[in-house]
Amino acid sequence: MRKRKTKLPASSPQTPRRVTLRDIAQEVGVSHVSVSKALRNSPEISEPMRKRIKLHAEKVGYTPDPMLSALSHYRLTSKTKPVKSVLAWLNPWSKPEDMRKQREFSLYWEGALDTAQRMGFLLEEFSSQKTPLKRLEGIFKTRNIQGILIPPHHDPNRDSATADFHGFHWQEFASVRFGRTAAYPKTHFVTAAQTSNTIQAFNKILKNGYERIGFVSAIHLTRLFFTGYHMAQLTSKTNQLKPLFFEQSQTQEQQAISLSNWFQTEKPDAIITDLDRLPMLLEKLRIKVPEDVALATTSIHDTPIDSGIDQKPKEIGRAATRLLITLLNEQQVGIPETCNEVLIQGKWTDGKMMPPKSRA
């Protein structure tokens, strides 16, 4: 007797069949390869067709197959991968070579380059000063460069250097900033955990036996080191010293006078600072480090101060690149409605300028 085959139901209300790329392709009248490319914002598919395919995918409730996504993730994270695309490092400095002279920023690049290569990408630097941004946009589209890293803009001429950023079509690219100095575009960004790093420094200095911990800086709207200092000071049982802030318009002589007056009034035995020129100003006033006052910096890489916080700039570069590649994989382009802030925890570094204080 011939056995009857049992026909399995195609789907049921409880387990609806997943919409596939081929389903969308059949409805729109294109190949499934074209659908895949459109959903990944490939310039090989015209913008009107990309919009049409995306709208239909949204209408029918298309979501990527989790098994295929897992396979894609495996391919991204496997140790040996062919290079698949280029990421752009967009340098807006008026003198592009000056940015890499900043040790912190150079380490951003090294971390980003290492991570890009391990995940199958090339990282290439482009200067918006050497090549107009409008032309760079065309180059990016021609070369299918869809991801952009935007390094910090600590350039004295940064306002003029980034003025043409507003004419760039950011909505067609995935972008990630380093730090808060780039006012535009307001994309997701990665930076040092400045508040918690300064709290960490303050508490370490306390453990070293110092009791009158001061803070010296300039006024920066994009830096949060003072927030950490203020919170640590409020929650400690140490003397509450008034911080010193230099104004941008002050000359070096005026800063030295302000520092001298503040030092005589507050009498600190230790100072936290983010200023690379502070040791020079103290020397000018014949205040010895660490004999008269100990010093710690919020970033050991770009100051002549050997005690303080290593902000882990390589890790910041790595995190920014991982975030950018995630955005590309999820087809998240343009300026987001909600800007995500990724903070990287730093680590205290001992040095000769902040020795443990004698408790004699």
Residues 263-276: pLDDT tens digits? 999 999 999 999 99
Which CA distances in Å does 313 have to 86, 115, 179?
22, 13, 11
Distance in angstroms (rounded) separating the CA atoms of residues 244 and 261: 10
Cα atoms found within 13 Å of the Cα of residue 332, Cβ hemisphere only: 17
pLDDT score for 62: 80
pLDDT of residue 10: 47
Place of tokens 């920014």: 320
Distance of CA 293 to the CA centre of its chain: 34
Question: In this predicted structure, what is the pLDDT of residue 357?
Answer: 85
Q: Is 71 exposed, middle or buried (0-12, 13-18, 19+ CB in 10 A)?
A: exposed
Q: Angle, nearest 10°, between helix axes 313-329 and 103-118? A: 40
| 184: number of Cβ within 10 Å | 14
> What's the CA gap between 100 and 231, in Å, rounded?
33
Q: Which residues, 6+ apart, have CB-to-CB distance to 50 below 8 Å?
A: 38, 41
Supply 182's token pair: 């780039």
CA distance 71 to 3: 39
pLDDT in tens, the chain (360 residues): 444 444 444 444 454 667 888 888 888 888 888 888 888 777 778 888 888 888 888 888 787 766 565 555 555 555 545 556 899 999 988 888 888 888 999 999 999 999 999 999 999 999 988 899 999 999 999 999 999 999 987 644 455 455 568 889 999 999 999 998 877 899 999 999 999 999 999 999 999 999 999 999 998 877 899 999 999 999 988 888 999 999 988 999 999 999 999 999 999 999 999 999 999 999 999 999 999 999 999 999 989 999 999 999 999 999 999 999 999 999 999 999 999 999 999 999 999 999 998 654
Contact 232, 202 (CB under 8 A): yes
pLDDT at residue 15, rounded to an integer: 47
Map out the domains of the chain with their CATH numbers.
85-192+314-344 (3.40.50.2300), 194-309 (3.40.50.2300)
pLDDT of residue 12: 45
pLDDT tens-digit series, residues 30-71 = 888 888 888 877 777 888 888 888 888 888 878 776 656 555
Task: Measure the CA dihedral 312/314/319/324, to 10°.
Answer: 150
Spatial distance between the Cα atoms of 141 and 87, rounded to a whole number of angstroms: 12
What is the percent of the chain with per-residue pLDDT over 70, rounded to a whole number? Answer: 86
